Chain A
Amino acid sequence: MSKSDIILEIKNLTKEFNVKTKLFGYGKTPTIKAVSDISFFVKRGETFGLVGESGCGKTTLGRCIVRGIDATSGQVMYYMEDGTKIDFLKAKEEEYKDLRKRIQMIFQDPYSSLDPRMTVYDIISEPLKACYKLSKPEIDDRVKEIGKATGLDISYLKRYPHAFSGGQRQRIGIARALITLPDIIVCDEPVSALDVSIQAQIINILKDLQAEYKMTYIFIAHDLSVVEYISDRVAVMYLGRIVELAPTEKMYSYPKHPYTEALLSAVPNPDPERKMRRIILQGEVPIPSNPPAGCHFHPRCPYRGKECDSVIPELYELEDGHYVACHYANKLRLSGIGQVQ
């Protein structure tokens, strides 16, 4: 893999939240590490899936990448076409404005992410007005082009969001993100608020648009089948850390981390003939403000060994492109869902 393939590199990204519990702010306030020391890169034109259960920090990570919230520390390196790189989190005024157009976001809830007091036309065209200086007819053309591409009925653009269904609203959200013609779109669970038949439509639209506009997606989801369908590579998060990162097929067929195996075994299987061993994890997800020592997963891990409760495993490259954070990754033989029995 050459360096020029990379479009975005996240280095040691950490986000801590302060929890105010003490009266008048005296005493040490506990912090929650929602995202702790995460590093990975995203290749140009790929779809990078990010999965994990609720509260594992995947949405926080996404919001840090687009600067929706400020990260505590770390870098988000954006690689320009000419090879220069800019840290988006520390970008100055001019660079920031330029990068803002290139990195956009699609939000989870199409009901709360659209301003109820603005017409759909205004919602879609707003990023254009904020980022570019365009004349009215130019804006008009662009809105119509993107509206058509996302499958919206152009004649309804003067209406307000409440007149649209969930699927249509999410198309509006997609159109809004697409209007500045970005290189990267962070999709924060774009289909989890929609019902299943609409999910398929939206995912197919996302795929078509990616091919048409040559975009890179960071696709956050908790639905493993959706991620498998759309992603080229997948990262699995647990308690603010990436525990495994691999190309999609490898991850689903040959998982290397016990947590990934447990997640995959929970995916519903439509084939009644196939018998699968369902791994039911013991206990609950630990409280993020007080994570267990050593490997965060060890209290629930069926394969834990003696160093698991003291040494934090680092994410390392086990095979080509297959990263895993587990002390026993090369010794365990775990089962995925792609395997034939």
Chain B
Amino acid sequence: MYQGKDVEIYAGKKLLEGEEEKAKELEKKNVLGDFIKRLFRHKGAVIGIIIIFLFIFTAVFAPWLTSYSYDKPDISVMLKAPCREHIFGTDEFGRDIFTRIVFGARISLKVAFISVVFSLVIGTILGAVAGYYGGVVDYVISSITDIAWSFPTTLLAIAFIAALGTGLENVIIAIVLASWSGYCRVVRGQFLSLKEREFVEAARVLGMSDARIIFRHILPNSVTPVVVMATLELPKAIVIEASLSFLGLGAQPPLPSWGVILDSGKGLLEQAPWISLFPGLMIMLVVLGFNLFGDALRDVLDPKS
């Protein structure tokens, strides 16, 4: 009798252990899986992801999506309204607007990503140093940041372009110089609050070097707001690039930047409104996509949700 009972208890224990193994497995997947699950439950995120994916796909596979050339004029099809051969119509040189927009996506996304990466790196490093070391270093860096922050981004970018000259590289430099201050402020704030946390003090007491504390302990904990901010800065960079190109300060014709196409259509708004309409729509759409995604990221990554 006793033995039978023992076996039963033993079996029960085994079962419990098995359950625990399963729970462990679940736990492993949870961190990333939970994040993705919550992201895809968010309507805005899904729409944003679809739009962003479409544009990235277009930019990457541009040459395979169209049979026309984006810069060769074809006088025979000048100013054609949207039709079967030219779904977005043609411009005053007979170039296919759809082709130009497809290749323009390359320019817009390239400029946006490169400038965001650079301003992110610069802003993060300066913000980390200012926030972690404090004192005079913080005072100097914060002052410069506040000065840079006080100018409207587009205006500052135009000022830099005026000094540097036109061209896509200079557009990137101008956007970086005009937008790093935002990251710097966010990262500095994160560092100021995180360095007072007990686990950072623990790391210091346990003998870690400053570099290790900054890169292993504080940065990983301050990454969330920075990622959200970078996502929301991408559409801003796209708009600045388009504005600069529209003003003739960015990409130069015949390069098919969306801003350039918009600009080229502004004199023909009555005869051929499609020249300006479609690039404008594209800018709106891609900005909407990134903003939806960024907002969703902020909601999903918020620990309080």
Contact = CB atoms under 8 A, between A and B. Distances in A.
Interface stretch (B4-12, B208-216, B288-296): B208-216
A117 B205 contact: no
A109 interface: yes
B302 interface: no
Given A116-B221, A118-B216, A160-B31, A126 B199 contact: no
Interface string A113-128: 1111110000000110
B144 to A, nearest CB: 20
A97 B209 CA distance: 11
A130 interface: yes
A250 interface: no
A306 to B, nearest CB: 45
Interface in B12-29: 24, 27-28
Interface residues of B, number: 21
Nearest to A113: B198
B41 to A, nearest CB: 21
Interface in A88-117: 97, 100-101, 104-105, 107-109, 112-117
B197 A112 contact: yes
Contact of B217 (A112, A115, A127, A159): A115
A130 B209 contact: yes
A97 B207 contact: yes
A156 B217 CA distance: 21
A64 B204 CA distance: 13
Contact of A67 (B27, B31, B205): B205
Contacts of A113: 198-199, 201-202
Given A68-B201, A112-B199, A159-B27, A117 B220 contact: yes
A118 B24 CA distance: 17
B199 A68 contact: no
B167 to A, nearest CB: 41
Interface-centre pick from A67, A109, A130 (highest chain B CB count, 10 A): A130
Contacts of A114: 199, 202
Nearest to A97: B207
A280 interface: no
B205 A104 contact: yes
Contacts of A71: none
Contacts of B206: 100, 104-105, 126-127, 130, 176-177, 180
A66 B217 contact: no
Interface in A107-155: 107-109, 112-118, 126-127, 130-131, 155
Given A107-B198, A109-B198, A115-B199, A68 B204 contact: yes
B209 A66 contact: no
B193 to A, nearest CB: 12
A307 B28 CA distance: 67
Interface residues of A, number: 33
Interface in A46-70: 63, 66-68
B27 A130 contact: no
Given A117-B221, A130-B208, A163 B27 contact: yes
B212 A130 contact: yes
Nearest to A155: B24
Contacts of B198: 107-109, 112-113
A131 B207 CA distance: 7
A107 B201 CA distance: 10
Contacts of B203: 115, 126
Contacts of A131: 207
Nearest to B201: A68
A54 B204 CA distance: 24
A115 B197 CA distance: 9
Q: Which of B201, B209, B217, B220 has the most CB of A within 10 A?
A: B201
Contacts of B217: 115, 117-118
A161 to B, nearest CB: 9
B28 to A, nearest CB: 8
A158 B31 CA distance: 13
A198 to B, nearest CB: 19
A282 to B, nearest CB: 35
Interface in A148-201: 155-156, 158-160, 163, 173, 176-177, 180
A116 B220 CA distance: 10
B207 A101 contact: yes
B114 to A, nearest CB: 28
B70 to A, nearest CB: 46
A82 to B, nearest CB: 23
B194 to A, nearest CB: 10
Contact of A105 (B28, B199, B205): B205
A130 B207 contact: yes
B208 A126 contact: yes
- Residue with the greatest number of chain B CB neighbours at <10 A, chosen from A126, A163, A173: A126
25 contacts: A66-B205, A68-B204, A68-B205, A100-B207, A104-B206, A107-B198, A108-B198, A112-B197, A112-B198, A112-B199, A113-B198, A113-B202, A114-B202, A115-B216, A115-B221, A116-B199, A116-B221, A117-B220, A117-B221, A126-B203, A126-B206, A126-B208, A126-B216, A159-B27, A160-B31
Given A68-B201, A160-B31, 4 more contacts: A67-B205, A107-B198, A126-B216, A130-B206
* Cβ-closest 10 pairs across A and B: A100-B207, A113-B198, A112-B198, A117-B220, A127-B206, A115-B199, A68-B205, A130-B207, A113-B202, A105-B205
